């Protein structure tokens, strides 16, 4: 069998590898505690599930959905943005439904990137930004995210010859994997940079609702000019615990949205209308479950950080996402430390270098198990791993 050269350029997908290693350990009888994948363990609220049930029984929903998403869903997203960020969006031209935000993130590269084009990709980062660039024939260029710069890219430090060949710049705040946040001042600088260099900003906003300690994450769309130069990808996966439902959206420039629509209409047929109706119910429903969810994640964060400090691992508490980005102990690489935790303690964490070269020296903890299991994971580590 002869496969495409692009497949040869794609590294193994991080989360598939974590699933494989977890399955191997379980086969050996290990009680694995996975702090590796960011898949919420909290259930989808009942009122959303009930909405799906009603929608699934409606024969009108058994037909093909619209490519761009139902107008009702797009109106709900518009109302959400108005309520949350005081941003006005036209549901007809500035919003599109996605089969999960990952799908839209991957497809936007095909709309704008040609062979030889550069994309500006944060490093470390969600792996899809890099792999989708490669699938589209482009060249991903890393924007290092360093602790001394609060894990924000140094926009002015990007070489001019690189910027001239770049079409897209990806941002992601609150950030995966570092849990860093960005303020409106940074987004304003990013918009000005994009205007100056005729770039498109793609903002992955999957974690905007996972916030603590009084912090509220801003939207790129709040910045003057942000809607003209950018597109923001949102998801119901994290705020509503709907990862398996595969429903998200893109908002922003109508020109960018229309080009993404060309790709989608030729590749997929839209999301099941009953799921879109349940998503409307979620977006228009009460905020109480989001507040409770964030209370739980904050509690887990505090438990994990206390145990890390007892191990001599110092981390700054983040006020967003359900991740902790921590330095590996002295004497380990990221991969060695992650492998040691699995082998000796039956605990899975994500090695930082799986998210890019700049992730070397770190590991990521996902707070997607209850605090008792988090405590058990650290007790095993204290007992069985040498520091």
Residue 333 has pLDDT above 80, yes or no: yes
Report the chain's mean pLDDT, rounded to a whole number.
95
How far, CA to CA in Å, does 112 sit from each of 125, 166, 199, 352? 20, 10, 11, 29
Beta carbons within 10 angstroms of residue 72's beta carbon: 13
Residue 4 has pLDDT above 80, yes or no: yes
323 versus 67: the higher-pLDDT residue is 323
Beta carbons within 10 angstroms of residue 379's beta carbon: 12
Give CA–CA dist 380/387, Å, rounded: 13
Contacts of 165 (CB under 8 A, 6+ apart): 116, 117, 118
pLDDT band at 8 (very low <50, low <70, confident <90, very high): confident
pLDDT band at 13 (very low <50, low <70, confident <90, very high): low
Beta carbons within 10 angstroms of residue 82's beta carbon: 12
CA angle 362, 365, 369 (to 5 degrees): 170
Element (H or E) spanning 288, and its range? helix 288-310
Give CA–CA dist 147/128, Å, rounded: 22
Domain ranges of the chain: 5-43+288-384, 46-284
**Tokens (6 digits) for 300:** 């887990």
CB neighbour class for 101 (10 Å; exposed up to 12, middle 13-18, buried from 19): buried
CATH fold match for the domains 5-43+288-384 and 46-284: no
pLDDT at 166 (0 to 100): 98
User: What's the pLDDT tens digit per position in 250-263?
Assistant: 999 999 999 999 99
Give CA–CA dist 177/172, Å, rounded: 10
Q: Specify whether the CB–CB gap between 251 and 81 falls below 8 A.
A: yes
CATH code given to domain 5-43+288-384:
3.90.1150.10
HSE, side-chain direction, 13 A CA sphere, residue 126: 23
User: What's the pLDDT tens digit per position in 76-115?
Assistant: 999 999 999 999 999 999 999 999 999 999 999 999 999 9
pLDDT at 10 (0 to 100): 80
Residue 296 Cα to chain centre, angstroms: 20
CATH 3.10.180.10 given to domain 46-284: no
**What are the φ/ψ torsions at residue 97 (nearest 5 degrees)?**
-75, 145
Has this prediction a pTM greater than 0.85?
yes
- Following DSSP, what letter does each residue of 142-180 receive, concatenated? EEE--GGGTT---GGGS-HHHHHHEEEEEE-SS-TTT--
């Amino acid at each position: 069998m002869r496969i495409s050269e692009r497949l040869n350029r794609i590294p193994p997908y991080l989360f598939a590898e974590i699933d494989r290693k977890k399955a191997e350990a379980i086969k050996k009888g290990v009680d694995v505690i996975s702090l590796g994948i960011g898949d919420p363990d909290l259930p989808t609220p009942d009122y959303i599930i009930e909405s799906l049930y009603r929608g699934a029984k409606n024969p009108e929903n058994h037909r093909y959905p619209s490519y761009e998403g139902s107008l009702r869903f797009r109106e709900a997203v518009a109302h959400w943005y108005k309520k949350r960020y005081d941003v006005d969006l036209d549901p007809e031209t500035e919003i599109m439904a996605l089969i999960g935000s990952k799908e839209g993130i991957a497809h936007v590269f095909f709309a704008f990137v040609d062979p030889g084009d550069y994309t500006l990709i944060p490093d470390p980062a969600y792996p899809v930004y890099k792999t989708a660039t490669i699938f589209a024939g482009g060249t991903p260029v890393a924007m290092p995210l360093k602790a001394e710069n609060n894990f924000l890219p140094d926009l002015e430090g990007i070489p001019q010859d690189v910027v001239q060949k770049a079409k897209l710049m990806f941002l992601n705040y609150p950030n995966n994997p570092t849990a860093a946040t960005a303020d409106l001042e940074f987004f304003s600088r990013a918009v000005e940079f994009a205007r100056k260099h005729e770039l498109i900003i793609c903002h992955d906003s999957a974690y905007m609702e996972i916030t603590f300690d009084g912090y509220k994450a801003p939207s790129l769309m709040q910045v003057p000019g942000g809607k003209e130069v950018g597109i923001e990808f949102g998801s119901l996966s994290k705020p509503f615990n709907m990862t398996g439902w595969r429903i998200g959206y893109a908002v922003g420039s109508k020109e960018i949205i229309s080009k993404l629509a060309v790709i989608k209409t030729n590749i997929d047929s839209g999301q099941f209308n009953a799921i879109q109706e349940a998503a409307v119910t979620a977006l228009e429903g009460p905020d109480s479950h989001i507040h409770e969810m964030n209370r739980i994640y904050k509690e887990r964060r505090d438990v994990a950080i206390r145990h890390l400090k007892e191990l001599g691992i110092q981390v700054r508490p983040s006020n967003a996402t359900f991740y902790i980005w921590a330095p590996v102990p002295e004497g380990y690489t990221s991969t060695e430390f992650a492998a040691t935790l699995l082998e000796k303690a039956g605990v899975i964490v994500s090695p930082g270098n799986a998210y890019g070269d700049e992730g070397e020296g770190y590991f990521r903890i996902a707070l997607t198990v209850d605090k008792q299991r988090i405590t058990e994971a650290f007790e095993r580590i204290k007992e069985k791993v040498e520091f």
